[in-house]
Structures are given as structure tokens and as C-alpha cells.
Chains A and B, each alone.
Chain A
């Protein structure tokens, strides 16, 4: 068991950040949030609340219009995006259909120019951690949706990231597969001592996974509320029916409903 986020320096510090796109969409307004070392932070909110925008700001893919972000205490201008070990898992597995699973998982290392022998060891390790070692030589289309997602996670793990950003990774999977991958993800998170920021639509998933949850509202995108899910890890399926779970789920549900009350269905 570990105590997540207890009085440690934040990995990412977001201070009064706003983001307005060229088409004048006011995606984010006055967002202040710290991602603490070792925590599992869930971002929950209605469509159009700027969850994905916030995630791409954290990834350094995009720059804020106002406010400032820093990684490990240093601003973007200083680090220039280099040297930050951040990995991304998208909603779709986004694997190269023409390449074997191990080639897909090796991709970030290949692009970084890592020697093949070193890379192969890391690839084998990552595949073993997501239970895909026997499928290393398969093509993506030979795998089920859940297994493709595992391959996508292995591709993120292979870079040994300090921070893993996940944008609704299990949203397209059936409930059984999703619950299983949730449990596997928690096991990986504990074993790797990573920090994870996890965007989801699912209240159940957010409560089950996260050590802290942030609820966002739309128009403009902002953070309504954050609180700690104070249930110990490891969490088993029994946690899903515990009073603590139900209590947090109820609070989250009410919070999301409040956030969605003024939300118009506009693209994210």
C-alpha cells in the first residue's frame, strides 16, 4: 500500500491556465491544478469541458493562452519539451496495422534511435507486463479490442514514463474487458510507481481507479471540484460494492450533474 500524493513536489503545476483557440472557442478558463508525484488523477466531466485540451497542454502538445504550466518545477520555455518522460494512450489503440505487435511496441524507442538490442529487452518487458508476451509476433488485427489496447499501453510503458496521460483509453471496450483492464492498470501503476492522469466519462471507473478526482464543467472549461478518494490500494472487485465506493460515486455523480447542468452539447 502506498500513500499517494502525500506532501511531495508536483510533477505538473498548472496555474490559472486559460486556452482560447483561433476560432475563439474558449476551451479552458482559469484552471489551477497540480499533478502530484505518484498519484492517479481522474479527470471527469461532460463533453466540451476541455478535458482533452487540458491533457494536451499537460503533454506539451499545445501552449496555454494565459497562465503558466511547469513540469518538475520548470516552465516549458526552459525544458522545451525535451527530457520530460511523458507517455500518451489514446481512446483508440492506434497501432500500425502492417507491423507486428512487438514492432508497434518498439516504435517510440525506434523513433528515439535506441539500439535494437537494448530496445528489444524493454519491449519484451513491457509486453510481459501487459500479458501480451505470447502475442509479440501477431499482427494487430489478429488481436481482440482489449488486447490491442494492452499493446497500446505496452507501447506507452516501453519508454518508462514518469507521467502517463490516458484519454478515455477503455471507452470503446465492453464492460467486462474494461473492468479487467482497470484492475490490470492499477497493478501496473503500483508496480511502476508512475503518475497517471486519466480522462474518463465513467463515474464508476473514476472512483475505482483514482486516488484523486477532478470534476470539470464546460463553457468555459474549468475545474469545479477536486477531492481525494481515500480508499486503500490494492483495490479489488469487492471495493466496487463497498460503502466508501458508493459514497464517492454519489458525490461524483452529483458533481458531474451540476457540471452538466449548464453544458450544451458542443464538440470537445
Chain B
């Protein structure tokens, strides 16, 4: 059927949009009809208004939280890939160290954060560290898995061709690991944001460098529920944006890596 794929794609966008419209309209209707006070549940209209009225404050906080999450993601990626590269050098290294990577993963960040905040004087750095601790595990485990998930026939061929360890790593393991790595990055992007927000809750830093978590905390205490909702909307939006960005980057990078040689052959 011609055009059925376009219809499909259109539906993919329209269907969730319809749900959103129905949900927001229903929310607005119930709040107005039942006359629910805004300190319990603010109407969507009021949330939108607050978002606009407090835009300087909220966008500033969004910038703080986002920058912490992004730096933490970059740190987690660098660290995670480096650790994975060390792990695949020998089974012994991996066996000795992997349990500690898991230990780091299963210990709740809320429990570790106070320690990190005490030890690291600069709050911003402490928050970045907390978020990175949360985000690093999927990068380590996925990249390690990817570097090991090499076609055994190709590995045999490299061995037969007397390839060096470095050649096998660079020409075989790294390209094989890329799809796995990007899968890990996708999970890590969400975790970095969660880590940044949770750590900020624990730290409770206010003033100049206050992030969205602090705005939520403060709004809760002041019963400024519309602003709390507005901050929530921004955090959710930031999470979706980060996820979408990593999906786009991975699609771009994989397409480039796997087909870059169609255009110009990069060799070293």
C-alpha cells in the first residue's frame, strides 16, 4: 500500500500527542470542576504561567543541573571506556575488579553522596562526581561486553595473520564494541541526570549555583506547588532531551563508522 509507511510514522507522532492533549485537558477540567486549590494540584495553565513568570530563576537552575549532568556524563564515558579497555586486557584484571564496579553500582547514591560532599570541598565538583558514579556502570559493562563480543572467526583470522594486540584492539574489538557502547551511553545519559538531581537533593545547596532539585526542595517547603510542578516539567524535559541527543549521536556515529568508508577511506 503506497504511503502506508508515512501514515505509520505520522501515527507514531500523533498518537502520543493525542494522549498528551487528552491528559492535559482532563487535568485542567478536573482542577477547574472540582475547584482543587493550587497548593494541592495546580492546573496546567497555572504551571505554564509559572514556568513563564519564573523563567529567569528556573532556566538558570536548569542550566546548573544540565551542566552538572553533561559534565558527569562526559566523565563517566571517559572513565567507563578506559576501565573497559583495561578489563579486556586480561580476564584476571576483570575478575579481580568487576565485583567492585558492581559494588559501586548497587550502593545507593543517596548513601554515598554525603561522603563525597564532605570529602570534596567544591560542591559543584562533588555533585559531578556523584552523578558520574551513578552513570559510569552501564558504560563499563556494555563496553566490556562489546569489546569481548568479537566474531570468533574474525578473531581467528587476526591470529592467523599474526596481528598485534594493538591491531586486534583497534581494528577488531573497538569497531565491534561500538553498538554496545552506544547502548550503554543511552542508559548513562538518563542516569547522569538522575544522579545530578539526587546528589543536589542531598547537598541542598542554595543561592547562586542552585539547581532544579533545590528549586523543588524550596518550593515544597514554601508550598509553592505551581513552581514545583514547573521545575518537574523542566527536569523531565531535560531527561528526554538528553536521551534524544544520545540516540541521535549514536545513530550518526554508527552510520558514519559503518559507512564512512563509502565516501573516504580513513586509514592509519
**Interface on A for B, CB 8 Å cutoff?**
59, 61, 81, 88, 90, 92, 94, 96-100, 103, 107-108, 110-112, 116, 137, 139
- Of B167, B172, B259, B267, which contacts A96 at CB under 8 A? B172
- Of A90, A108, A111, A137, which contacts B156 at CB under 8 A? A90
B151 sits at the interface (CB 8 A): yes
Contacts of A92 in B (CB 8 A): 153
Binds A, one of B1-9, B50-58, B157-165, B217-225: B157-165
- Contacts known (A61-B159, A99-B261); A110 close to B172, Cβ less than 8 A: no
25 contacts across the A-B interface (CB closer than 8 A): A61-B159, A61-B160, A88-B157, A88-B160, A90-B153, A90-B156, A92-B153, A94-B156, A96-B154, A96-B172, A98-B178, A98-B257, A98-B258, A99-B175, A99-B261, A100-B261, A103-B265, A107-B157, A108-B161, A110-B171, A110-B267, A111-B158, A111-B161, A111-B171, A112-B162
- Contacts known (A96-B172, A98-B257, A111-B163); A90 close to B265, Cβ less than 8 A: no
Give the residue among A98, A100, A116 with the most B Cβ atoms within 10 A.
Answer: A98
Q: Which of B227-268 contact A (CB under 8 A)?
A: 257-259, 261-262, 265, 267
Give the residue among B159, B160, B258 with the most A Cβ atoms within 10 A.
Answer: B160
Q: A237 → chain B, closest Cβ, in Å?
A: 31
Q: Using C-beta atoms within 8 Å of the partner chain, give the interface range for chain B.
A: 20 to 34
Instruction: Give B135-178 as 1s and 0s: 1 = Cβ < 8 Å from A's Cβ atoms.
Output: 00000000000000001011011111111000100011001001
A59 to B162, CA, bound (A): 12
**Closest residue on chain B to residue A100 by CB atoms:** B261
Contacts of A94 in B (CB 8 A): 151, 153-154, 156-157
A255 to B237, CA, bound (A): 73
A90 to B259, CA, bound (A): 25
Other contacts beyond A90-B156, A90-B157, A98-B178: 14, CB < 8 A = A61-B159, A61-B160, A88-B157, A96-B171, A96-B175, A98-B175, A98-B257, A100-B262, A100-B265, A103-B261, A110-B171, A111-B158, A111-B163, A111-B171
A59 to B157, CA, bound (A): 12
Contacts of B158 in A (CB 8 A): 111
A-B contact count (CB 8 A): 50
**Closest residue on chain A to residue B179 by CB atoms:** A98
Interchain residue pairs A-B with the least CB separation, the first 9: A94-B153, A98-B258, A111-B161, A111-B163, A100-B261, A108-B161, A98-B175, A94-B154, A92-B153
Q: Are B161 and A107 in contact (CB under 8 A)?
A: yes
**Closest residue on chain B to residue A88 by CB atoms:** B160
Q: Which of B98-124 contact A (CB under 8 A)?
A: none
Contacts of A88 in B (CB 8 A): 157, 160
**Closest residue on chain A to residue B178 by CB atoms:** A98
- Contacts known (A88-B160, A94-B157, A108-B161); A137 close to B262, Cβ less than 8 A: yes
Q: B170 → chain A, closest Cβ, in Å?
A: 11
A96 to B261, CA, bound (A): 12
Q: Which of B25-46 contact A (CB under 8 A)?
A: none
Contacts of B159 in A (CB 8 A): 61
Q: Are B160 and A59 in contact (CB under 8 A)?
A: yes
A90 to B162, CA, bound (A): 17
Contacts of A100 in B (CB 8 A): 261-262, 265
**Closest residue on chain B to residue A94 by CB atoms:** B153
Contacts of B153 in A (CB 8 A): 90, 92, 94
